[in-house]
Structure 1
Amino acid sequence: MEREVRAAVMTGSGETEIQHLHLPDIGLEDGLLKIEAAGVCGSDVRHYRAQITEPRILGHENLGRVVALGSIARDRWGVSEGDRVLLEEYLPCGHCYACRTGNFRSCWATDSLLSPTAIRFGSTPLQIGPGLWGGYAEYLYLHPRTVFHHVDERIPAIEAVLALPISNGIEWVCREGQLQPGQTIVILGPGQQGLGCVLAARLAGAKTIIVVGLERDAKRLEVAKELGADVVFHGVDRDLIELVYELTRGEGADMVVDTARGSDETVGLAVKLLKKHGQLILPTGAPEGLTQFPVSLLAKRCLTLRGVRGHSYAAVELALDLIGSRKYQVGKMSTHHFPIEKVDHAIRLTAGEFPEQAVHVTILPDLALPDLEQGSVRT
């Protein structure tokens, strides 16, 4: 095996440099993954725009093949060399209350948003050994606390990496939100998370699935329709409110999921769309926070506001089963594929910085880079 590997290293805000890094030595409790595909998530956009002092490799939607494995790791993980696996981004401790109750995504050891010492795939700095923490590289280090999912060989790589965004939708809509058969759901935002909610709503047996976007979201709204949305909408809020109440015979929606922004505008709209005893699912939040939240309506209309984040192990397994069933046109979500040298472009495309619109972008390390595109690599 080669001892140096290519990696797209984030060296500063909005800056990527292609570097050659050393492969780590593998001991009894860890391993090594050869990356087959790595998805680009909205959180990668947020990380890429952040000011950093320590270089890192982004990419936490990682699919690959186990190529090296310690004997203790083999017994602990239940995997073998050659296995095709999908990784969760979390590296939980395994013994805290959150881990023991099945909520390991909330473990402080891996909660990088709330704990300064946490580690996880896709955001941990290079200086924390052995450095290969992100999927935008040829190989990924397998930490002793890695969480694995076996992946059917028949599932295309560009679809398998969609399991994490789809599992978010399953977690929020089905497992935490408990959407029931026959209910109506409104999904604000037709990005990859919103589309995951569309698939989740279909699994739950929703009567009516309404997806709301902006005029520039035409392509994403089209994909939402192909995945099972009954109504897609872009226009003025007043017309949307009238439409929802018309479709629900004056009752309003049972659930609204705000994957768009979590701002005064979107949350205020969501509350207006909900029926009495309805539920607002909030997986996001605007940096400036909420300044005009209609608190009085929570009690008056018996509404539930549920903050959600990430996915459970069960949700990822359900997502892989959904993809493998071939019942849904999941491949429609995968719109763009790039080699490692184009990571900067891939993240910026996901961020909406170009006229062309993407739904889900995938990095494929073995994909050849056309000579004519070499000049667009940002260094």
Structure 2
Amino acid sequence: MNDMIRAAVATAPERTELQWLPKPGVRPESGLLRVAATGVCGSDLPYYQTLPQTRGPVILGHETVGHVEQMGDIARAKWGVKEGDLVALEEYIPCGFCRFCRSGDFRLCNATDWRLGGMRYGATGMNVAPGLWGGYSQYQYLHLNTVFHKVPSSVSPRHAALALPLSNGIEWTYLQGGAGPGQTVVIQGPGQQGLACVVAAREAGAECIIVTGLGTPTDHRRMELAKKLGAHHTIDIQSQDLLETVADITGGELADLVIDCASGGTDTVVSAIQLARKQGRVILGGQKRKRIPEFDSDMIIARFLTVKGMRGHSYQSVELALQLIAGNRHHVTDMSTHLFGLEDTDLALRTLAGKGVEDAVHMVIDPWM
């Protein structure tokens, strides 16, 4: 069976099966990664629910960490890595020559958007040869335009899998949101991204970090973790008036920066704008897939607000994330709560929908367990 590998294949909406697949050969312009760990991202849930129906069988998982197993001569000359290196991958597979790639913002390259026919790790169907485009597998095929990050020697693969969610927090809070010393930051939603924003805000020196969530047991446990990671206050929006509580905490000044990481309805977009002080900034990170009815856009004008929509992370933010993980700054590795074998991939994905294990924050699949 040395020429066969195991992978968890999403074969239909909300159905994942273990399969044995042929181990592909490597061309001069490609390579092969021996997967060590792959994080389970909240964005995997809509893929799990819909992608197998629209793209056929697919190997999900894009927060991949592993050792470079093999690479062709063209790839070797381009990548700057060697066999055996432990690396973390970005999900993006950019073209490398458009204006966004040339300016370093390759996440905006159309080639990274699978909805426009592009490729992305964890979202490309197995009908695209050789099919091993996701991390829920023992091996992952490496495209010539793969974006690599070398993992510091002190970091385990399990914790390195936190790099992408943590990089989103750094990107949204610090690089795009401008959080800094003396500022008040409100973070809506205590999921992976919200907790990552807490770590980034604390690292940036924010004076007051407030995290909001629901009155569910899950959110309460996550808000307790938020305090350990550096939040100063948490608000249960089902038992406390959100605007009044933030006004009380800030002496009526409200927030310099509000980051909406909440999934679901559009109410948090409106509250994010309401919570920002004059000249404040609002970062919208949680996709709603819904329209906002009767939205009063004059609030943005009256308060002279800056409102930004976020799309993923930058190369810089991933590098900064790996540095924070290496030093376990602000207890960031506590975000990694569950480790599963490949046969439990479906359980991990169902957990994202609240149908699996309890108390999960960041889950990791180890395909060799």
TM normalised by structure 2 equals: 0.96
Question: Which amino acid in 1 is paired with 2:325?
Answer: I
Q: Residue 323 of structure 2: which of 321, 324, 342 is its match?
A: 321
In structure 1, the residue matched to 2:251 is 249
Question: Which amino acid in 1 is paired with 2:177?
Answer: G
Instruction: Write the deviation string for residues 301-338 of structure 1: whole angstroms up to 9, x where unpaired.
Output: 11121101100000000000011112321221111111
Distance 2:77 2:257 in 1: 43
Counterpart check, 1:260 vs 2:283: no
Distance 1:140 1:366 in 2: 13
In structure 2, the residue matched to 1:272 is 274
SS of 1:109's partner is helix
Which moves more between the two structures, 2-11 or 148-157?
148-157
SS of 1:42's partner is coil
* Dislocated runs of 4+, deviation >3 Å: 235-238
**Deviation of the 1:354 alpha carbon:** 3.8
Q: Residue 358 of structure 1: which of 351, 357, 360 is its match?
A: 360
What aligned pairs does 1:115-154 form with structure 2 within 5 A after superposition? Answer: 115=116, 117-154=117-154
Q: Residue 87 of structure 2: which of 85, 88, 91 is its match?
A: 85
Q: CA 1:19 to 1:354, structure 2 compared with 1: closer, same or farther past 3 Å?
A: closer
Question: Which amino acid in 2 is paired with 1:269?
Answer: S
**Deviation of the 1:53 alpha carbon:** 4.4
Distance 1:304 1:262 in 2: 23
What aligned pairs does 1:195-214 form with structure 2 within 5 A after superposition? Answer: 195-214=195-214
In structure 1, the residue matched to 2:300 is 298
Please say if residues 12 and 53 of structure 1, whose CA atoms lie closer than 8 Å, have aligned partners that are also in contact: no
In structure 2, the residue matched to 1:158 is 158
**Deviation of the 1:293 alpha carbon:** 2.0
In structure 1, the residue matched to 2:170 is 170
Q: Residue 73 of structure 2: which of 71, 74, 88 is its match?
A: 71
Distance 2:161 2:61 in 1: 11
Question: Which amino acid in 2 is paired with 1:94?
Answer: G
Please say if residues 264 and 292 of structure 1, whose CA atoms lie closer than 8 Å, have aligned partners that are also in contact: no
Please say if residues 215 and 238 of structure 2, whose CA atoms lie closer than 8 Å, have aligned partners that are also in contact: no
Identity, % of aligned positions: 50
Please say if residues 198 and 231 of structure 2, whose CA atoms lie closer than 8 Å, have aligned partners that are also in contact: yes
**Deviation of the 1:297 alpha carbon:** 0.7
**Deviation of the 1:223 alpha carbon:** 1.1
In structure 2, the residue matched to 1:342 is 344
Distance 2:27 2:7 in 1: 22
Distance 1:94 1:72 in 2: 15
Unaligned runs of at least 5 residues, structure 2: none
Unaligned runs of at least 5 residues, structure 1: 368-379
Please say if residues 66 and 86 of structure 2, whose CA atoms lie closer than 8 Å, have aligned partners that are also in contact: yes
Over the residues paired in the alignment, what is the CA RMSD in angstroms? 1.4
**Deviation of the 1:236 alpha carbon:** 3.6
SS of 1:356's partner is coil
Question: Which amino acid in 2 is paired with 1:250?
Answer: G
Question: Which amino acid in 2 is paired with 1:208?
Answer: C
User: Between Structure 1 and Structure 2, how many residues are aligned?
Assistant: 365
Question: Which amino acid in 2 is paired with 1:310?
Answer: G
Distance 2:159 2:348 in 1: 17
In structure 2, the residue matched to 1:370 is none
Instruction: Write the deviation string for residues 175-206 of structure 1: whole angstroms up to 9, x where unpaired.
Output: 11112211101101111111110111012110
Q: Residue 54 of structure 1: which of 53, 56, 59 is its match?
A: 56
Question: Which amino acid in 1 is paired with 2:248?
Answer: E
